[in-house]
């Protein structure tokens, strides 16, 4: 079996990883900066203050966010220095559950994008790509398309058409947003779908089922963590109609150990993986693969 090691990418500073705060979420933004959302353990379900720790090329800074409302938060950074925090569940249909914070940590916008957020990715322009899991697709009119693009002020900009050749989405398994386009892979059927910024959609048949992340580069795609290959990478070339496999590999940590439970994130050609206790990101780049 072919082995592919991750490489170390970013780590939560030691002083922060030992603090009496829990990691609520972590991400790598469109510009390659790693972020951790930290807060004291919450018990009453009300608004709370939180801290975003940003690590960029070994340097770190902190931003204090005031009165965060998300109980199941997803975080990303915006190009103007601010942040977006969304509650992945919308307990009441009329509640705003997305907050946009300015660079000083003050709320500047609130709005709703629909229940059952599986993926939240801000792109280089600041637009928000949101992928939804099945409870939203079948339970919330804002989520029914499966994947949508919103402005950072809550304006709906695009949604996956029901007429997409890959079929209607039931659950958005993988989402990759990078340089003005997005790639998704979803149930049913798990087609690979490219969405250009102008809304143009193209579909390829996939050789895998249930992938957790897809990365793309120069006519190639790699699928990670499918139903058939838990820690496997399936590398493919893109023909006119299908992704054609040419290599199956097992992804491991930089020290060679198995990955185990993890978070994963796709940005263009880069796959980011974060294993428990979620204090460090590792990376693999399809663009550098033979």
pLDDT in tens, 16-69: 655 678 999 999 999 999 999 999 866 677 899 999 999 999 899 999 999 999
Q: How many other CB atoms sit within 10 Å of the CB of residue 157? A: 13
Tokens representing residue 283 in the block = 């990376």
Sign of CA dihedral 105, 111, 115, 117: negative
Residue holding tokens 């779908």? Answer: 193
- Reduced to 3 states (helix: H, G, I; strand: E, B; else coil), residue 252 is strand
Overall average pLDDT of the 100-124 stretch: 97
- Position 225 scores a pLDDT of 86
Q: How many domains does the chain have?
A: 1
State yes or no: pLDDT of 280 exceeds 90.
yes
Overall average pLDDT of the 70-99 stretch: 91
State yes or no: pLDDT of 1 exceeds 80.
no
CATH of the domain at 86: 2.120.10.30
- Position 69 scores a pLDDT of 94
* Mean pLDDT rounded to a whole number for the chain: 93
Nearest of 290, 229, 243, 288 to residue 7 by alpha carbon: 288
% of the chain exceeding 90 in pLDDT: 83
User: What are the beta bridge partners of residue 72?
Assistant: none
- Position 91 scores a pLDDT of 65
pTM of the complete model: 0.95
CB 121 within 8 A of CB 184: no
Overall average pLDDT of the 201-218 stretch: 95
Nearest of 157, 159, 167 to residue 192 by alpha carbon: 167
- Position 92 scores a pLDDT of 66
% of the chain exceeding 70 in pLDDT: 95
- Position 94 scores a pLDDT of 65
Overall average pLDDT of the 94-116 stretch: 94
Overall average pLDDT of the 160-185 stretch: 92
State yes or no: pLDDT of 93 exceeds 70.
no
Tokens representing residue 56 in the block = 């960029």
User: What are the beta bridge partners of residue 7?
Assistant: 283
Q: How far apart are CA 247 and CA 126, in angstroms?
A: 35
Q: How many other CB atoms sit within 10 Å of the CB of residue 82? A: 22
Instruction: Compare 162 and 75 and report the one with higher pLDDT.
Output: 75
Overall average pLDDT of the 103-112 stretch: 96
Peptide linkage before 134 cis (omega within 30 of 0):
no
Overall average pLDDT of the 137-157 stretch: 96
- Position 240 scores a pLDDT of 96
Nearest of 290, 182, 195, 172 to residue 235 by alpha carbon: 290
Peptide linkage before 91 cis (omega within 30 of 0):
no
Structural domain boundaries, residue 249: 2-288
């Amino acid at each position: 079996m072919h082995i592919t090691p991750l490489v170390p990418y970013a780590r939560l500073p030691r002083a922060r990883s030992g603090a009496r705060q829990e990691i609520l979420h972590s991400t790598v933004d469109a510009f390659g900066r790693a972020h951790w959302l930290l807060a004291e353990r919450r018990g009453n379900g009300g608004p709370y203050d939180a801290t975003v720790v940003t690590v960029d090329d070994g340097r770190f800074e902190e931003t204090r966010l005031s009165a965060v409302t998300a109980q199941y938060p997803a975080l990303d950074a915006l190009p103007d220095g601010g942040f977006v925090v969304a509650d992945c569940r919308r307990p009441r249909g009329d509640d705003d559950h997305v907050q946009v914070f300015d660079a000083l940590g003050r709320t500047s916008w609130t709005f709703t994008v629909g229940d059952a957020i599986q993926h939240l990715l801000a792109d280089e322009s600041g637009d928000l790509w949101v992928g939804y899991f099945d409870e939203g697709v079948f339970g919330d009119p804002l989520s029914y398309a499966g994947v949508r693009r919103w402005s950072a002020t809550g304006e709906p900009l695009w949604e996956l058409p029901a007429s997409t050749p890959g079929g209607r989405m039931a659950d958005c398994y993988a989402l990759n947003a990078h340089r003005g386009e997005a790639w998704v892979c979803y149930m049913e059927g798990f087609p690979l779908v490219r969405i250009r910024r102008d809304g143009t959609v193209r579909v390829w048949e996939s050789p895998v089922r249930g992938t957790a992340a897809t990365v793309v580069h120069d006519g190639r795609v790699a699928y990670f963590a499918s139903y058939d290959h838990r820690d496997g990478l399936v590398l493919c070339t893109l023909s006119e109609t299908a992704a054609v496999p040419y290599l199956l590999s097992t992804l491991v940590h930089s020290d060679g150990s198995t990955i185990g439970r993890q978070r994963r994130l796709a940005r263009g050609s880069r796959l980011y993986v974060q294993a428990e206790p979620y204090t460090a990101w590792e990376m693999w780049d399809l663009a550098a693969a033979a």
